[in-house]
């Protein structure tokens, strides 16, 4: 199964996503902010799920760093921001997918399989 990093400042949102992934056998690691997430990402993951709106280091900055330092690492955005311009910006920064919060379980699991290959 996949090793997945969730970067989100909301404990509630992390718990929801973890609750969808761990019963399927995925290993989930959580980061409470962008800086912690970038540091953890270097430990090796199959997929990183990133929130956009976080204090200090937002998801856009996280994407920039991950795309530059770990260009092969699949990243997906999980956000409540549904603006098309935001989606385009994330994809331009290297995100491979964009999911609205709260994600549908089936959509999230399909995304994990597609991006991680697991």
DSSP 3-state assignment of 90?
helix
CA gap 42, 73 in Å, rounded: 10
Per-residue confidence (pLDDT) for residue 6, from 0 to 100: 98
Q: Kindly list the domain boundaries of the chain, sorted by start residue.
A: 3-116
CA gap 65, 5 in Å, rounded: 15
Write down the pTM of the prediction: 0.95
pLDDT by 10s per residue, the chain, length 118? 999 999 999 999 999 999 999 999 999 999 999 999 999 999 999 999 999 999 989 999 999 999 999 999 999 999 988 789 999 999 999 999 999 988 999 999 999 999 998 8
Per-residue confidence (pLDDT) for residue 95, from 0 to 100: 96
CA gap 50, 55 in Å, rounded: 13
Per-residue confidence (pLDDT) for residue 81, from 0 to 100: 81
Per-residue confidence (pLDDT) for residue 117, from 0 to 100: 85
Is the domain spanning 3-116 CATH 3.40.30.10? The answer is no
Q: Are 55 and 9 in contact (CB under 8 A)?
A: yes
């Amino acid at each position: 199964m996949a090793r997945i990093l969730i970067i989100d400042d909301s404990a509630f949102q992390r718990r929801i996503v973890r609750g969808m992934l761990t019963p399927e056998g995925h290993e989930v690691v959580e980061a409470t902010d962008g800086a912690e997430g970038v540091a953890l990402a270097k430990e090796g993951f199959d997929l990183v799920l990133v929130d956009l709106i976080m204090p200090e280091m937002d998801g856009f900055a996280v994407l920039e760093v991950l795309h530059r330092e770990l260009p092969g690492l699949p990243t997906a955005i999980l956000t409540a921001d549904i603006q098309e311009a935001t989606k385009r910006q994330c994809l331009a920064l290297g995100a491979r997918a964009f999911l609205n919060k709260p994600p549908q379980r089936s959509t999230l699991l399909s995304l994990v399989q597609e991006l991680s290959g697991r």
